[in-house]
Structure 1
Amino acid sequence: MQGMTISNPKLEFLRPVLERWFDCIDRYNAVRGDNDTPYWFDERANLGLLSAAAWMAEMVTLQNAPTRKQNEDGERNVSADLFIASTEERAFIQATQRWPKVNNLNLTQPLSEVASDAKRISYASDLKLGCLFVSPQKAQQSATPEELQDMIDDLQKENTCAVAWYFPYAYRKLRNEAGQYHPGIAVLFKQAHG
C-alpha cells in the first residue's frame, strides 16, 4: 500500500520526490535483504532517503543547510535539517520522527511542534516545512490489512499540506530485534508560517 495526498499547491513540486522516495526504500530493502529496513531508524536516516529521492528527481538538496533568519536584533545564522530545490522552487525543512502504536497514531501534537520549529529556520518569505516521519509499530504480530487502511485514513485526516505513506507488502511481517513490527512509514509535511 502506497500513496500520497498533496493539498497545498506550493508543495506540488515535491510530488516527483515522494514518488522516488518509495523507490529509495525499495532499493535499500533490496540491497540490505529481509532483515533490515530504513524506517526503523531516526529522522536523519529517513531524511537521507528523502534527499536521495530529490536528487533522483533532478533536484538538489543539502542537509544541515546554513540559512539566515531575521529577528528583532538583526540577522542570525541558523540551519535547516534539509534544503531542497528545483530550478523554480525551494523549501527549508525541519524534521522529526515518531514511532506510535499502529492503532493510536496521535500525530497532531508532534506535527504542530515540528511546524513550529520550522518557523525558526529562515526568512518569513521562504517556504518552510515541518516534516514528521512516522513509523508505526505493533507488538506480537503484524498489522492487519484493516489496521493499515485505518492508519492511512487517519493520516489523511491530519491537518497537513502533504502526506505520503508506504507499507510494502513484503516487509509487513518484518520485526526488529525488540520484537516490534513496523509495517512501513509515512511522511507528513506542514507549512510553517512566519
Structure 2
Amino acid sequence: MQGMIISNPKLEFLRPVLERWFDCIDRYNAVRGDNETPYWLDEKANLGLLSAAAWMAEMVTLQQSPTRKQTEEGERNGRADLFIATTEDRAWLQATQRWPRVNSLNLTQALLDITSDAKKISYASDLRIGCLFVAPHKSQQGATPEELQDMVDDLQKEHCCAVAWYFPYAYRKLRNEAGHYHPGIAVLLKEARG
C-alpha cells in the first residue's frame, strides 16, 4: 500500500522525489535483508533516503546545509536538515520523526512544531518545509489491512501540503527488538509561511 497527495502546487516539484523514496526503501530492504527496515531508525536515516531519492530524480541535495537562522535575538548562521533543488525550484527542510501507535497517530502538534522550526531557517522569501516522518507501531501483532487503511485515511486528514505513505506488504510482519511491529512509514510536508 503506497500513495501520495500533494495539495500545495509549490511542492509539486517534489513528486518525483517521493516516488523514488519508495524505491530507496525497497532497495535498502533488498540489500539488508528481511530483518530490519530503514524507517525504524530516526529522521536522519530517513532524510538520507529522501536525499538519495532526490538524486535519483535528477535533483541535488545537501544535508545539514548552511543557511541563515531567524531567532528572537536576530539573524545568525544556522543549518537546514536538508536543502533540495532543481534548476528552477529549491526548498529547505527541517525534519523530525515520531513513532505513534497504529490506531492513535495524533500528529497535529508534531507537524505544527516542526513547521514552526522550519520557519526559522533561511529567509521568508524561500520555500521552507516542515518534514515529519511517521513510523507507526503496534505491539503483539502486525497491523491488519483495515488498520492500515484507517491510518492512511487519518494521514490524509492532516493539514499538510503533501503526504506520502508506504506500507510494503512484505515488511508488515517485521518487528524490532522491542517487539513492536512497524508496518511502514509516512512523510508529511508542510510549508512554513511567514
Distance of 2:31 and 2:101 partners within structure 1: 28
Q: Within 5 A, what are the aligned runs for 1:170-189?
A: 170-189=170-189
Shift of the 120–141 alpha-carbon distance from structure 1 to 2, 3 Å rule, reads same
1:73, CA displacement in angstroms?
A: 6.4
* TM-score, structure 1 normalization: 0.98
Equivalent-residue separation in structure 2 for 1:72 and 1:102 (angstroms): 37
Return the offset for 1:72: 7.3
- The answer as to whether partners of 2:70 and 2:121 remain within 8 angstroms in 1 is no
Gapped regions of structure 2 (runs ≥ 5): none
Amino acid at match of 1:31: V
Distance 1:117 1:70, change over 3 A: closer
Inter-CA distance 175–73: structure 2 relative to 1 (3 Å threshold) = closer
Would you say the 8 A contact 2:119–2:192 is kept in 1? Answer: yes
Amino acid at match of 1:136: P
Question: Is 1:4 matched up with 2:4?
Answer: yes
Residue type matched to 1:83 in 2? Answer: F
State the match for 1:45 in structure 2.
45
> C-alpha offsets along residues 41-61 of structure 1, whole Å, 9 cap, x if unaligned?
000000000000000000000
Q: Secondary structure at the match of 1:121?
A: coil
- When the two chains are superposed, the root-mean-square deviation of aligned CA atoms in Å is 1.1
Partner of 1:61: 61
CA shift for structure 1 position 78: 1.1
Normalising by structure 2, report the TM-score. 0.98
In the alignment, the residues of structure 1 paired with residue 27 and residue 74 of structure 2 have an alpha-carbon distance, to the nearest angstrom, of 45
List gaps (5 residues or longer) in structure 1.
Answer: none
Aligned length: 194
- Return closer, same or farther for 1:113/1:71 CA change in 2, 3 Å cut-off: closer
